[in-house]
Structure 1
Amino acid sequence: MEIKTVSIIGLGALGILFGSHLAKKMPKNALRIIADKDRIQRYKETGVFCNGEKCEFNYISPEEKCEPADLLIFTVKYNGLKDAISAAKNHVGENTIIISALNGISSEGIIGETYGMDKILYCVAQGMDAVKEGNQLTYHNMGMLVFGERDPGVVSEKVQSVARFFEKVELPYEAVTDMYKRLWGKLMLNVGVNQTVAVYQGNYGLIQNEGEARDTMIAAMREVMALSEKEGVNLTEADLNYWLSVLATLSPEGKPSMAQDVEAKRFSEVDLFAGTILELGKQYNVATPVNEMLYDRIKLIELQY
């Protein structure tokens, strides 16, 4: 299958980041940004900017009839996923491939409940240091999309199709055969990085250097490692070091999404991170005191909005 049309739903940091890249590489009508009419009006009035350059997007509302997309990319926040699944229905056909760049380990299953797991490729977005303020996105490192089938060792036609397309449009990617483990690895990173930077109210530089914040981050990540053994994923010290090496590539002035949410007094994805870890800890009778502390601290911050 050759991918010719792409639809993106969710114009936050990742939607703008990858959308702006694809908009320069594809015919305008071949890339569609799904948004409700009020959002479209606002985007057109104020503009959407990536590294100071105005994005020329082709917007389409959920009600508009259109041909199904060859590739549908979800880039919404977790609390907007249910509405996004409904809004994207006109873009899903028999041969549509769906990837989700959402954080956590559950979005693929939720999307698959509606559209079928046969359409889903598991995916993580990693290595980007994008910061979004209002309608302005800035980044130094674009990062990449890492994707593959859930079952280890499988390289399907869907995987090959997406890889060929990303190659053609020069979008950084990695197709892997241990995708579920990578998904857990990204959860481990988010649990450590996003929550620690939000609580300590710093930036990537804070946790790239030795000190209390970095120690807290690594301790939270080790709790995810312990739970991964119970889940049969078995994250190791090598996985921890891999993700710390990814962290080391990010701009020290950049900030993860949760820290940006806290600064803007938006409710965060703490339930997706520490909330998930606390639930699994109870399920497997594994102590998770660091994530419990981070969860309580972030909830207290949000209570003061």
Structure 2
Amino acid sequence: MKILIMGSGGVGGYYGSVLFRNGHDVKFIARAEHLEKINSNGLIIKSVTSGNYTVKSDAYDSVPINFSPEIILFTVKAYDNSDAIEIISSAMSKTTSLITLQNGVGSSDLLKNRFPSNNIISGVTYVDSFVTSPGKIVEQGGPCNIIIGNQFQPNDPTVSLIRDIFAKSKINIAISSSIESEIWSKLIYICALSGMMCITRSSMHSIMNYKETYEMTREIVQEVYQVSTAMKIALKPNIVDLTMEQLKTNSRSIQSSMQTDLFKGKNIEVDYLNGAVSKFGKKYGVKTPINEYIFRTLSLHNA
């Protein structure tokens, strides 16, 4: 299977490397020093789930000539969407499946505005992996799974084919008949995690063990749930408690890629996380003061 990884960071780079090891023809789109290191030394993976290995596959800054991918894994940061869409547009055909595993909401709708809806597979992933230095990715264990579905055509048979391809490559993957609910379930989690870690510049363990920041975290989760309810997105009725328990359980080890980007001086995805909650809250008449405060405060970083 010919697979293009559009965004070879912690998520795309890790999953692309697993697919490559299992016999697929995988090409990586990367940039700058990360691109150079992959081409000179290979993509070096240190993984609790998959082991330690080096992938010797070429990386590119655009789709290689005469490479027609059957699957494109779309894993760039949301603020790079416009550039990434232009890059992959030449590789899209009527039969290409475009799988988006981005954080936040709106990715699938954005892609649908450019490409046929039957090509677009929405998804979420729970994986603790990140680029430690150019050409090197660490995956630290934990759930390490993907959930996919076609948001626009729920009975799309391609979804099952993709699940089987990934499963045979030893990737933990499942299909959801309500993928939008899965996306919002993760949004609740990631808004609390990344929003709080960035606004406090602290670890999640510290946040969850201090009364004021614990309560603020719960307010974020509650606001996102209230917005999803107003939008008639079906989530578990106890999602607030479940999310807080998950954050508490994982607090010692969990990291936020948005906080990592913040500390490195890179752009951050707050517009597509807490900012999106604020936007939808206003649209549906739900007050979201904590999410809006986080969005407004952190948006200065991207200015």
Report the TM-score range of the alignment, normalised by the length of the smaller protein: 0.7 to 0.9
Using a 3 Å threshold, how does the CA distance of structure 1 residues 21 and 231 change in structure 2: closer, same or farther?
Answer: same
Name the residue aligned to 2:28: 33
1:167 Cα deviation (Å)?
1.6
Name the residue aligned to 1:133: 132
Residue identity opposite 2:296 in structure 1 = D
Residue identity opposite 1:59 in structure 2 = A
Q: Which moved more, 1:265-274 or 1:130-139?
A: 130-139
Render the CA deviation track for 1:85-110: whole Å, top value 9, x for unaligned.
11112332221111101111111111
1:40 Cα deviation (Å)?
3.4
> How many equivalent pairs are there?
296
Unaligned runs of 5+ in 2: 47-51
Contact 1:35 1:60 in 2 (8 A): yes
Using a 3 Å threshold, how does the CA distance of structure 1 residues 246 and 125 change in structure 2: closer, same or farther?
Answer: farther
Using a 3 Å threshold, how does the CA distance of structure 1 residues 58 and 247 change in structure 2: closer, same or farther?
Answer: farther
Contact 1:7 1:31 in 2 (8 A): yes
Structure 1 or 2: larger strand share? 2
1:39 Cα deviation (Å)?
6.0
Matches within 5 A, 1:148-297: 148-150=149-151, 154-207=154-207, 209=209, 211-244=211-244, 246-247=246-247, 250=250, 252-297=252-297
Unaligned runs of 5+ in 1: none
Select the residue among 4, 9, 31 that pairs with 1:7. Answer: 4
Q: Please report the TM-score for the alignment, with normalisation by the length of structure 1.
A: 0.86
Other structure's SS at 1:237 match: coil
Matches within 5 A, 1:17-166: 17-27=14-24, 30-35=25-30, 40-45=35-40, 48-51=43-46, 53-62=53-62, 64-126=64-126, 128-135=127-134, 136-141=136-141, 143-150=144-151, 154-166=154-166
1:77 Cα deviation (Å)?
0.5
1:15 Cα deviation (Å)?
1.5
Residue identity opposite 1:12 in structure 2 = G
Using a 3 Å threshold, how does the CA distance of structure 1 residues 24 and 241 change in structure 2: closer, same or farther?
Answer: farther
1:297 Cα deviation (Å)?
3.5
Alpha-carbon distance in 1 for matches of 2:68, 2:258: 33
Contact 1:148 1:179 in 2 (8 A): yes
Q: Percent identity?
A: 20
1:41 Cα deviation (Å)?
3.3
Q: Please report the TM-score for the alignment, with normalisation by the length of structure 2.
A: 0.87
Using a 3 Å threshold, how does the CA distance of structure 1 residues 167 and 87 change in structure 2: closer, same or farther?
Answer: same
